[in-house]
Amino acid sequence: MKKIELLAPAGDMECLKAAFKFGADAVYIGGPFMQLRAAVKGFSLTGIKEAVEYAHSLNKKLYVTVNSYAKGYEFADIGNYAKELYSVGVDAIIVSDLGVISYLRKEVPDLEIHVSTQANCQNSEAARVYYSMGVKRVVLAREMTLNEIKSFAKEIPNDLEIEAFVHGAMCMSYSGRCFISSYLTGKSGNRGECTQPCRWQYHLVEQTRPNEFFPIEESEKGTTILSSRDMKCIDFIDELIDAGITSFKIEGRMKSPYYVATVVNAYRHAIDKTAPIELLSAELDCVSHRPYSSGFYFGELERYTPDDDMAYKQDKIFAGIVKSYENGRATLELRNFFSEGDVFEIVSPNSIGLSFTVTNMADSKGERITYAPHPTELITIDCPYPLTEGDILRKR
């Protein structure tokens, strides 16, 4: 049986370190060029080098997204960029554009390439073409069912790896290849510039009454009728493994360290079978998310019927990150307001389901306090459970 890789997203070093601490085998990041999160600057080349060194110190891997569709004039820059990524030790790059794959195989033949889900590979004929070009892994199109994946896995070379998304946001368009943003704003999602118009609020306008706007009722928080449900696959993790998938990918390079830690932790325990699935599934309700679905794995994506259920949900609040623990006292960096008497839950790779009541609070000067209102402030509290640096505390 092939080893299963848990692949996590990271938008900065804090998220990257959280991903590895909580059990990721590999992390994917965006760099300064050709990534599909162009509105937010990715890691600099210096930052990528630091990230690679940190990953390799843990015997883990780092991948960089180079998955924007390329313009003709960009190829020389793409080649130079790929050479820089190879020189700092990046384990693989994730690429969408067929031309970029062909070009980089000649320019940097030893740099491992994974085909992005944006390429929409969903049949073995396409996979074998990529394989003949030297591609090591295919990230499957999100529209594939489990039965289709099983057939796909049997028809491709044994050493061509299969990666698939198991958790996070899904674009409403075909494998993310959306034109709505380009049409409405002139900013192309295929170039990393998506303005996310699927999440805007919309009204109806009657043709003869151009200045009268009629709301499409959905909830008090707005109307986002084009916005998809999020994917959650933890409840059928064994079926994904049986289908032949060897890398489980979590979406979310724009997410917080708390999100990354919580989701990675749950899937790590699920893959390793070290906690009940029911408990781990409930863990995923503790981060901000849209209503969950199983994606297309069992056929047609769950149809949405308008109700008040499409707003973002989150059962718990990220309170702080543990910086140290000694003699029954935890020092944490505050992320959200909390008070004495609040109930904290511990998010740790070493335990699931532990909680305690906040008591004996003190600020960074050691002075007694009963509430903590200032983000990034260092607070100490009593804690009956031994914690390690990087563990997360959340508030009920």
Amino acid 362: pLDDT? 97
> Is residue 145 located within the same domain as residue 246?
yes
Gap between the terminal Cα atoms of the chain: 40
Residues 187, 92: one domain? no
How many domains does the structure of the chain reveal?
Answer: 3
* Domain span holding position 280: 5-173+228-293
| Distance (Å, whole) CA 9 – CA 22 | 12
For residues 322 and 392, the answer to whether their CB atoms sit within 8 Å is: yes
Name residues whose C-beta falls within 8 Å of residue 285's C-beta, 6 or more positions apart in sequence.
313, 314, 315
- Residues of the chain with pLDDT below 50 are 303-308
**163 and 247 in contact (C-beta within 8 Å)?**
yes
pLDDT of residue 43: 94
Q: Are both 182 and 168 inside the same structural domain? A: no
The per-residue b/e assignment along 211-243, b for 16 or more CB within 10 angstroms, e otherwise, is eeeeeeebeeeebbebbbbbbbbbebbeebeeb
Q: Which of 293, 308, 341 corresponds to the end of one domain?
A: 293
Q: Is there a single domain that holds both residue 381 and residue 239?
A: no
Instruction: Say if residue 205 is in the same domain as residue 242.
Output: no
How far is the C-alpha of 150 from the C-alpha of 376, rounded, in Å?
Answer: 47
Both 59 and 138 in a single domain? Answer: yes
- Asked if 316 and 395 touch (Cβ cutoff 8 Å), the reply is yes
The CATH number of residue 142's host domain is 3.20.20.70
Residues 165 and 181 in one domain: no
In a domain, 199, yes or no: yes
160 domain-assigned: yes
Strand positions, DSSP E, 119-246? 137-139, 161-168, 203-205, 213-215, 230-232
Inside any domain, residue 77 = yes
Give the list of residues 6+ apart from residue 55 with CB closer than 8 angstroms, or none: 16, 20, 26, 27, 61, 62, 91
Q: Are strands 92-95 and 203-205 parallel, antiparallel or unpaired?
A: unpaired
Question: Measured between alpha carbons, how far is 369 from 316 in angstroms, rounded to an integer?
Answer: 23
Q: 329 and 261: one domain?
A: no
User: What's 321's domain CATH number?
Assistant: 2.40.30.10
User: Helix 98-107 crosses helix 75-87 at what angle (to 10 degrees)?
Assistant: 60
> pLDDT (tens digit, 9 = 90+) per residue, 74-116?
999 999 999 999 999 999 999 999 999 999 999 999 999 999 9
Q: Are residues 91 and 160 both part of a single domain?
A: yes
220 occurs within a structural domain: no
Which string of DSSP letters, residue by residue, matches 311-341? S-B-SSEEEEEEEEEETTEEEEEE-S-EETT
Strands 161-168 and 203-205: unpaired
The DSSP H or E segment spanning 258 is helix 257-272
Same domain, 113 and 200: no
On whether the CB atoms of residues 293 and 229 are closer than 8 A, the answer is yes
- In a domain, residue 145? The reply is yes
